[in-house]
Copies of this chain bind each other. A is one copy, B any other.
Amino acid sequence: MPLVVVGSVAIDHVETPTERRDNMLGGSATHFSYAASFFTSVRLVGVVGEDWPAEHTAVLDEQGIDTSGLQQVPGGKTFTWTGRYHDNMNDRDTLDVQLNVFGEFDPVLPESYRRAKYVFLANGVPAVQMKVLSQVPGRRLAVADTMDLWIKTTRNDLNQLLKQLDGLVLNDSEAKLIAETENLVTAGHRVREMGPKFVIIKKGEHGAMFFSEYETYVLPAFPTEQVVDPTGAGDSFAGGMMGYLAECDNFEPETLKMAMAYGILVASFNVEGFGLERMQQISRKDIDERMTEYKKMLNF
């Protein structure tokens, strides 16, 4: 089943302890789309400026991602993010953010997108995320990401959004912030009680936790020495997960767990190169081979 994603498309500048790369294809919706494209057809909604390099769109097109929802604003400038990772490759400083055209992003879904059953709202203003939901009334599964900024500044909107979601994906510090507790298990269930049928807490190098009314579980990350650039790991996690759900066209408990495992594995590839570099080298076969290893690792 087709999967619609709405979110940021950006130009990233990334500095790690050993290297710096500029003008990379980045953004939440971009990393999500690429990850999901291994599993299902993806329809991307985003906005870029006149400075946007055509070759960036070509990367997505070649992967079969529908970019007809990627709006280009004449005279506008594309959202840019510049970040520097610490030695632990986990903490990072944002050196510069230029929202540019993304600051005024008012997503209007092409007619063909509006019949989508699977929708992912990448991190963004909750009011805008809700506006997107209203354009896909026939959806079967709507999942969103969020961030500390919205938890702190637009809590009422976020609370309203949570009631309309089937699932929410957020990281550990955000879960603690929104649920006002330091225990992640308690946090997961509290967030779930705010509306979503399921909640997934991303723990970076430590994996992810799943919470529904009936289930609580944790899956570890795939252990890798090759951490080159963690940018977009969380988005590719969500992309792998949603992509698999859309492919299966169901969200039974066992499908959801397998989807979470796929999300973890796709994210483990994403961090092995700058931007989308590593992702551009792999195929579904590589992901499935890693899945075999991963299952073996968790079997005893």
Contact = CB atoms under 8 A, between A and B. Distances in A.
A209 interface: yes
Interface in A23-73: none
B182 A225 contact: no
A219 interface: yes
Interface in A277-300: 295, 297-300
A275 interface: no
A221 interface: yes
B185 A224 contact: yes
Interface stretch (A103-111, A120-128, A147-155, A199-207): A199-207
A223 B211 CA distance: 11
A130 interface: no
Contact of A300 (B90, B225, B261): B261
Given A297-B217, A300-B254, A225 B89 contact: no
B223 A89 contact: no
A186 interface: yes
A83 interface: no
Contacts of A258: 300
Contacts of A261: 300
A185 B89 contact: no
A218 B218 contact: no
A235 B182 CA distance: 23
A278 to B, nearest CB: 16
Interface residues of A, number: 34
Given A206-B203, A220-B218, A300-B261, A183 B227 contact: yes
Number of copies: 2
Interface in A149-190: 182-186, 189
A227 to B, nearest CB: 6
A245 to B, nearest CB: 14
Interface string A233-273: 00000000000000000000010011001000000000000
A87 interface: yes
A88 interface: yes
Given A183-B89, A257-B300, A216 B209 contact: no
Given A207-B220, A218-B220, A88 B225 contact: no
A266 to B, nearest CB: 15
A254 B225 CA distance: 24
20 contacts: A88-B182, A89-B182, A89-B183, A183-B227, A185-B223, A185-B224, A185-B225, A207-B220, A216-B223, A217-B223, A217-B297, A217-B298, A218-B220, A220-B220, A254-B300, A257-B300, A258-B300, A295-B300, A298-B298, A298-B299
